[in-house]
Structures are given as structure tokens and as C-alpha cells.
């Protein structure tokens, strides 16, 4: 599959016709960890599964194509993808990062900072971020839209500012997925995803991806991944391919549902503010009375109280005690992640059932 086809076609065809030996339509799962060499000094291209596995390699072809990138690697989780991307930079590298981040990324940055591995400077807004990039900066890191405040950053502008100072831009594209955003053609040097979320889409596989167009970066990523071993298993690679086939349909339906629910939420007096960018399935909202949050959550029946996002089932998360619990309260409050905020990941259910559920839980 090459980039000459449109996104929906590349996705629907994930992994098909990859097995020339049998003509199997669906990609086979290769569990073998080792591969027979045809003769001394020769290789089939596969030696040991930590280095390269046929099922993972088939998946990685689609991952590169959908992000319009030359190279992709599949890892064991979104966090391992982020760690892989950062660890190609030297000790002491200087990071400028957007403040509103996935809590687990913040936790890791914080740990690395206290070990002296990196220094990290945070910026609350895009203009603060652009101003913080200096000649010393090595890495600029953003999620767009941000999590959970749903603020968009202009990737092309940030990429240009980073490159003008000789820094590399890393973008976490988990929330929009390639359906709404391709950071590589906009100038990002490395794109990471928690593929656990929209890419896999069914809340049953933990996975991460790292993509790049830069061969020198890819070579370092590949070397480190082979060395440290946080690769995606063959079975999980298959599940991720299975999920990718319907990514476009799922994302479009989630957007359609989310738009309708945003309109509805805005009519409720119990809802103080709704944060939504206009596309994707992620909605954050602030409630008028924060003491009602446990009741609201306990009343929901269709929408499940659980952390994570991007699956076919709608979930509600309380970032304060779940995804963002590791961010100290004073830091959270300083950038607007207040205790009255709930986050919804809207799935593909019938929107009337979702609306009814929210009405029963939030209705005056
Ligand atoms: C979930 C998430 C991660 C971490 O991914 P895992 O697959 O849970 O390790 C990173 N970034 C964002 C934006 C996420 O939502």
C-alpha cells in the first residue's frame, strides 16, 4: 500500500494481501520469535522478533502511510513511544513543552527532570511556547488539541519556530488521529501516538507508535527500540491493524455524536462551560456545582466511568483524580485544569441514548 491512495482506502486495506506465500487476505499473526536462515551468512530479512517481526512490519507500513511519513515503529504503549522518542536526545537536552499534557507524560518529564536527564520548561499558551524557544532548546513538545483543555496549537508555526532555533518538534497526535491532522507534512520531526486510543479504538489493546520522515532519527529510534525491547507483540499488532480498518468511520461517527452533544450540554444550566474544538470525540466540560460530580458520574448508565478515550464506547473521566492525578493541584489550577472539569470521550453509540443519559445525570 502506498501513499498514492486516499486515507480511507489505506485504512480499510490495512495488512491485506501481505502474505504472498498463501494469498491470505487478512494479515497472518507471526508468533515466531526467531527465523530460520536459508544458509550461512543469509537472512530472510527477519532474524529475531525484537528486531523485526512480519506482523509488526505489516502494521508499521500502514502507520507510516496514514501519517504521511516515511518511517513508523510500533511500541508496547503510548508511554513507551514517548520515552523512545525522547531517549534519542542526549543527557541534558533542553525541552520546551506545552503545559496542558497527558498526566503520564508530565509524570515522566518530571522524573527525568529531577534525575537531571532533561530540563523542561512549560508554557501555558502558544505565544508563551513560541517565546520560550531559544537557541538552547533541543526539543519542543506539544499535544494538540491539549488534554483536557482542548486548546489547539498551530503545528506549522511551532515547527518553524523550533527549526529556526535548531530544535526538533515532537507532536503527540493521539486526540485527532490522522483523520483530522498529519503533523509530519506540517513540519513535525517526530509524531507519537497512544495507539491504545483512537487508532486501536476498542479498549482492548495497549500500543504506541512513533513516526518520522528523518532517516537519521529513524535509525536512532530503531537502534534504541531493538536495544530496549519495548516493541508491540504480534497479537497486539494484529489487533491494532484490525482497529485501524474502521478508524475513519469511528472518528466521523464520534465527531457527529460529539457535535450534537456539545449543543445539548450548552443548554443545561448545570453545565458552566463546554470545551470542544469542533472535531473529534473529546469534549471537556465544567459543571456549575463541583460537589455534584460524584452524583453525576454515578447516575450515568450508558456512558462508563473509566479512564482512557478513543474507543467505540463513550467514557467519562474525572482528570483530577484519574488521568491527571500526578499533577500537583497548584500547578493544575494555575493553567485552568480546575476541580469542576469532567472529560468525555464520545463513542459511536446512538446519540439519543447518550443525550438521554447526560440529561438524566446533569438535568437540573
Ligand atoms: C493515553 C495517552 C498517552 C499514554 O499512552 P498509553 O498507551 O496509555 O501508554 C499519551 N498521550 C496521550 C495524549 C494519551 O491520551
- What residues contact 20, with CB distance under 8 A and at least 6 apart? none
pLDDT of residue 323: 84
Encode pLDDT of 176-217 as tens digits: 999 999 999 999 999 999 999 999 999 999 999 999 999 999
Pocket test for ligand 1, best of 104, 149, 190, 306 (most atoms within 8 A of CB): 104
pLDDT of residue 175: 98
Show which residues are catalytic: 50, 102, 172, 197
54 lines ligand 1 (CB under 6 A): no
**Which atom from ligand 1 is nearest to the alpha carbon of 101?**
13
pLDDT of residue 363: 86
- What residues contact 56, with CB distance under 8 A and at least 6 apart? 49, 74, 231, 232, 234, 237
Ligand 1, atom 5, residue with closest C-alpha = 78
Cα–Cα distance between 251 and 236 in angstroms, integer?
Answer: 21
Cα–Cα distance between 148 and 336 in angstroms, integer?
Answer: 10
- The full set of domains in the chain, from first to last, is 7-245 (3.40.640.10), 248-363 (3.90.1150.10)
178 lines ligand 1 (CB under 6 A): no
The H-or-E segment that residue 283 falls in is strand 282-287
Residue pointed to by grid coordinates 446533569? 362
**Which atom from ligand 1 is nearest to the alpha carbon of 309?**
15
pLDDT of residue 1: 44
Amino acid at each position: 500500500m502506498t501513499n498514492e491512495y486516499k486515507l480511507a482506502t489505506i485504512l480499510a486495506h490495512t495488512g491485506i494481501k501481505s502474505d504472498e506465500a498463501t494469498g491470505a487476505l487478512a494479515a497472518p499473526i507471526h508468533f515466531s520469535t526467531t527465523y530460520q536462515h536459508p544458509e550461512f551468512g543469509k537472512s530472510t530479512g527477519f532474524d529475531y522478533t525484537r528486531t523485526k517481526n512480519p506482523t509488526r512490519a505489516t502494521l508499521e507500513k500502514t502507520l507510516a502511510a496514514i501519517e504521511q511519513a516515511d518511517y513508523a515503529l510500533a511500541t508496547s504503549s503510548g508511554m513507551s513511544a514517548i520515552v523512545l522518542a525522547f531517549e534519542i536526545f542526549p543527557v541534558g537536552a533542553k525541552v520546551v513543552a506545552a503545559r496542558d499534557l497527558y498526566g503520564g507524560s508530565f509524570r515522566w518529564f518530571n522524573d527525568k527532570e529531577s534525575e537531571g536527564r532533561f530540563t523542561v520548561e512549560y508554557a501555558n499558551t502558544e505565544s508563551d511556547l513560541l517565546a520560550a524557544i531559544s537557541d538552547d532548546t533541543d526539543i519542543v513538545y506539544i499535544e494538540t488539541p491539549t488534554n483536557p483543555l482542548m486548546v489547539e496549537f498551530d503545528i506549522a508555526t511551532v515547527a518553524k519556530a523550533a527549526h529556526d532555533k535548531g530544535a526538533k518538534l515532537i507532536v503527540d497526535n493521539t486526540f485527532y488521529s490522522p483523520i483530522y491532522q498529519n503533523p509530519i507534512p506540517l513540519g513535525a520531526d517526530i509524531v507519537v501516538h497512544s495507539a491504545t486510543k483512537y487508532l486501536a479504538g476498542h479498549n482492548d489493546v495497549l500500543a504506541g507508535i512513533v513516526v518520522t520522515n528523518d532517516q537519521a532519527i529513524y535509525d536512532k529510534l530503531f537502534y534504541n527500540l531493538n536495544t530496549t525491547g519495548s516493541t508491540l507483540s504480534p497479537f497486539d499488532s494484529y489487533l491494532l491493524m484490525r482497529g485501524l480498518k474502521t478508524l475513519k468511520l469511528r472518528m466521523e461517527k464520534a465527531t457527529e455524536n460529539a457535535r450534537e452533544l456539545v449543543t445539548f450540554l450548552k443548554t443545561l444550566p448545570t453545565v458552566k462551560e463546554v470545551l470542544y474544538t469542533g472535531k473529534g470525540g473529546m469534549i471537556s466540560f465544567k459543571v456549575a456545582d463541583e460537589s455534584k460530580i460524584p452524583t453525576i458520574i454515578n447516575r450515568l448508565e450508558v456512558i462508563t466511568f473509566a479512564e482512557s478515550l478513543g474507543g467505540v464506547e463513550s467514557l467519562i473521566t474525572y482528570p483530577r483524580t484519574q488521568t491527571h492525578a500526578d499533577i500537583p493541584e497548584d500547578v493544575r489550577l494555575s493553567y485552568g485544569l480546575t476541580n469542576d472539569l469532567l472529560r468525555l470521550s464520545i463513542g459511536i453509540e446512538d446519540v439519543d441514548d447518550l443525550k438521554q443519559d447526560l440529561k438524566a445525570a446533569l438535568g437540573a
